[in-house]
């Protein structure tokens, strides 16, 4: 019924890894009194901070597929938890900029710390050039899906 395509195995594996990471994130969220959406938001905000992208509620809502009301509630939650700070954009005063607090960085680091352990463990027994192949493949998958969604 399946396995016609040589990609099937990869699809199943990627999906399975996704499910595992997802559950890991949900457990991390529950342990810290967060909701899954909060974790997703944190990931996006930390990525944006690392990439130097200026994050606004509208941008965040679009990334998470939330409507404006839901986005406001989300930012309220994150601000109440001391994870982000709202500040007016001085250039375009209609905008609000979301700045991640130190606490958010620490939290993100805690989360990834546990994940890094897993990946490092998995990476043992692989040559560096093999890991490089994996990196190239994952980057290609990422680009494909991003293009397909055409955000």
Partner DNA sequence: GCGAGAATCTCGTTCAGCGAGATATTACGA
Partner DNA sequence: TCGTAATATCTCGCTGAACGAGATTCTCGC
Residue 70's binding partner, choosing from DNA, a copy of itself, none, with beta-carbon cut-off 5 to 8 A by kind? DNA
26 near 36, Cβ under 8 Å? yes
Q: Which two tokens stand for residue 105?
A: 């960085």
Please select the residue that binds DNA; options are 2, 5, 52, 94, rule is CB under 7 A. Answer: 94
Please select the residue that binds DNA; options are 18, 23, 53, 68, rule is CB under 7 A. Answer: 68
Please select the residue that binds a copy of itself; options are 53, 54, 73, 138, rule is CB under 8 A. Answer: 138
Please select the residue that binds a copy of itself; options are 77, 95, 101, 112, rule is CB under 8 A. Answer: 112
Q: Could you say whether residue 86 binds DNA (CB under 7 A)?
A: yes
60 near 51, Cβ under 8 Å? no
Q: Could you say whether residue 150 binds a copy of itself (CB under 8 A)?
A: no
Q: Could you say whether residue 95 binds DNA (CB under 7 A)?
A: yes
Partners of 90 in the β-ladder: none
Q: How far is CA 53 from CA 88, 96, 112, in A?
A: 16, 13, 21
Residue (94 or 129) nearer to DNA, CB: 94
Phi, psi of 99 (to 5 degrees): -110, 125
Which residues in 27-56 contact a copy of itself (CB under 8 A)?
27, 30, 40, 43-44, 50
Contact positions toward DNA, by CB under 7 A? 35-37, 56-59, 65-75, 77, 86, 92-96
């Amino acid at each position: 019924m399946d396995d016609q395509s040589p990609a099937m195995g990869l699809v199943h594996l990627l999906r399975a890894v996704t499910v595992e990471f997802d559950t890991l994130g949900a457990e991390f969220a529950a342990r810290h009194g967060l909701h899954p959406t909060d974790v997703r938001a944190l990931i996006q905000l930390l990525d944006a901070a690392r990439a130097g992208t200026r994050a606004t509620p509208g941008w965040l809502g679009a990334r998470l597929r939330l409507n404006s009301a839901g986005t406001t509630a989300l930012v309220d939650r994150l601000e109440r938890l001391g994870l982000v700070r709202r500040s007016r954009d001085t250039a375009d005063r209609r905008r609000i900029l979301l700045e991640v607090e130190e606490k958010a960085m620490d939290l993100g680091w805690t989360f990834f710390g546990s994940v890094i352990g897993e990946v490092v463990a998995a990476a043992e027994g692989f040559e560096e050039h093999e890991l490089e192949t994996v990196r190239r493949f994952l980057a290609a998958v990422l680009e494909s899906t991003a293009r397909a969604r055409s955000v």
